[in-house]
Structure 1
């Protein structure tokens, strides 16, 4: 299944007044955009040479702006996070915790669709990168903590229920539905909603 365009990274809109600095920032932005373009196109482990080619810069330029590929991925990760965090920070609507949790399904579907290729790329490359390994752990923790924040104490005390809810709302589950079972966004959303609803129907308010 072809991936939808997922990221609309905002690059600096006000270049520095100094022409050299402006050109340097432009080259840096092109390199970041090239990595995202390659990953989005299915190359989960693009080489520095390929990034340079797509960016339209020399290979030396890549390593003039970034010490290594880890540093480049760190910059991309920061920009992806800046794009996604406002969605995570929005208050979840709902008068009771079960309603709020159900409303998270739509939001997570949107976020997971936007970050999917980059998340797969970093997961693939993390075995060779200390930074990406730590970033992967941090992302999993953030994913879990944003669910826990919506659960009342009596549910948090129930480890099995808490784990079940986290699995249903996880990126791994979304990936399996969308890209292993080849479901549409709506079909995957319906499955997650049904699974989550079944779990919540068994739990006390």
Structure 2
């Protein structure tokens, strides 16, 4: 006979496995270009019942929050690694390159979340937090350039996810081409006025 604690632990583990499969299924569907995969599609991809999806995630904000945590975990090493360059132009290249890598990895989720942000408190807060974090990193990593408020705003715009998205989607540039544009625009902002 199986003891009750072992049965409970088995159920708990199966529940955690189902939850992970649901999150991964949602991410896969988004990466494949589905902006708003329905619960039925997610359940089918995760190989779980529809009721299981709703049992683990009572609303979409809960699922978005779990996806966001998963993505943050995937990016943790990239975000935590200190910049190696000692001069501001070298730090700019490193910072832009890292953002390009991060933006490419979050691209599908950000586009899906943008489509739903107007009706999701979590997605609105998550986006605001990302913007704030990126601004803080910019001020920390390029302090001389960011001492001028106008230059700070221009750098924040040029190095934003929205600028990256426009270059990649609307303007159809390849990753390396988009990075070159970002670097050229940001480098121009770092040059002293009149040069």
TM-score (norm 2): 0.90
2:77 equivalent to 1:75: no
Structure 1 partner of 2:179: 189
The aligned runs of 1:83-102 (5 Å cut-off) are 83-102=74-93
Higher helix share: 2
Query: For this pair of structures, how many residues does the alignment match?
Result: 187
2:91–2:142 CA contact under 8 A, matched in 1: no
Runs of 4 or more above 2 Å deviation = 154-157
What's the CA shift for 1:26? Answer: 1.3
Structure 2 spans left out of the alignment, 5+ residues: 1-7
Q: Look up the match of 2:154.
A: 164
Cα offset for 1:99? 2.0
Greater Rg by CA: 2
Per the alignment, residue 5 of structure 1 pairs with none
Name the residue aligned to 1:34.
25
5 Å-filtered alignment, 1:54-69, equals 54-69=45-60
Q: What displacement does 1:85 show? A: 2.5
Q: CA RMSD in A?
A: 1.7
* Structure 1 range deviating more: 86-95 or 194-203: 194-203
Asked if structure 1 preserves the Cα contact closer than 8 Å seen for 2:21 and 2:46, the reply is yes
Report the equivalent of 1:108. 99
Higher RCO, 1 vs 2 (CA within 8 Å, ≥6 residues apart)? 1
Gaps of 5+ in 1: 1-16
Q: Is the 8 A contact 2:25 2:42 kept in 1?
A: yes
